[in-house]
Amino acid sequence: DIQMTQSPSSLSASVGDRVTITCRASQSISSYLNWYQQKPGKAPNLLIYAASSLQSGVPSRFSGSGSGTDFTLTISSLQPEDFATYYCQQSDSIPITFGQGTRLEIK
Amino acid sequence: EVQLLESGGGFVQPGGSLRLSCAASGFTFSSYAMSWVRQAPGKGLEWVSGISGSGGNTYYADSVKGRFTISRDNSKNTLYLQMSSLRAEDTAVYYCAKSVDMTTVDYFDYWGQGTLVTVSS
């Protein structure tokens, strides 16, 4: 199985900050990497697919990059509604696996 | 508008069984692979099982293989998860999720609201 490791596990930031979350795969997954946002009590919401493609309706302050084993999710200017937990997910092979999550909190 | 509505969750004793359903609307159900993803209380996301649009191919996480069965009824636009030999560690919110491809369980562009399964004596 492909292991996905996110860092950091939690992060405190302020509105307007630029934030980067990283995700590392245990083996190469090409660009089969996706990012989700989850708010408490809600289902996850797809932000980025195929490493760098922005899902329809997602604000442009979200961006993704990387290939192979190392990936990043960047939020260019944090907004109040961005405080949530973020998960990466690989879709290179079955079983599908997720990172452990990064909790983004207000400083 | 795409909608996924899960049902069937509840309280069950260890060793028991439960069947979850996910009613889909707003898209051509048979054209997309579907999955179940669960989240234990306070924990992260875990993919459980997936099925191709035709239902001909099914996939499972090792943690549920042999105990859970995924299926779909394309005439009813409904996805199912039959769960048996349930364990305490199966306690979670179970989400159904739509893939963007017919044959491949890849990433998930729509999710249901989830249904809670609690396994406890």
Q: How confident is the model over B34-57, as pLDDT tens digits? A: 999 999 999 999 999 999 999 999
Q: What is the pLDDT along chain A (107 residues), one digit of tens a residue?
A: 999 999 999 999 999 999 999 999 999 999 999 999 999 999 999 999 999 999 999 999 999 999 999 999 999 999 999 999 999 999 999 999 999 999 999 88
**Angstrom distance (rounded) from CA B34 to CA B99:** 6
**Smallest CA–CA separation between B68 and chain A, in Å?**
15
Under an 8 A CB cutoff, do B107 and A91 touch?
A: yes
**Smallest CA–CA separation between A32 and chain B, in Å?**
8
Cα–chain center distance at B37: 6
Q: Are A77 and A62 in contact (CB under 8 A)?
A: no
**Smallest CA–CA separation between A1 and chain B, in Å?**
10
Under an 8 A CB cutoff, do A101 and B114 touch?
A: no
Buried b / exposed e over A32-44, threshold 16 CB at 10 Å, is bbbbbbbeeeebb
* Strand ranges in chain A using DSSP code E only, listed in sequence order: 4-7, 10-13, 19-25, 33-38, 45-49, 53-54, 62-67, 70-75, 85-90, 97-98, 102-106
Q: Is B61 on the interface with A (CB under 8 A)?
A: yes
> In sequence order, which residues have a C-beta less than 8 Å from that of residue B70 and are 6 or more positions away?
B36, B49, B50, B51, B58, B60, B79, B80, B81, B82
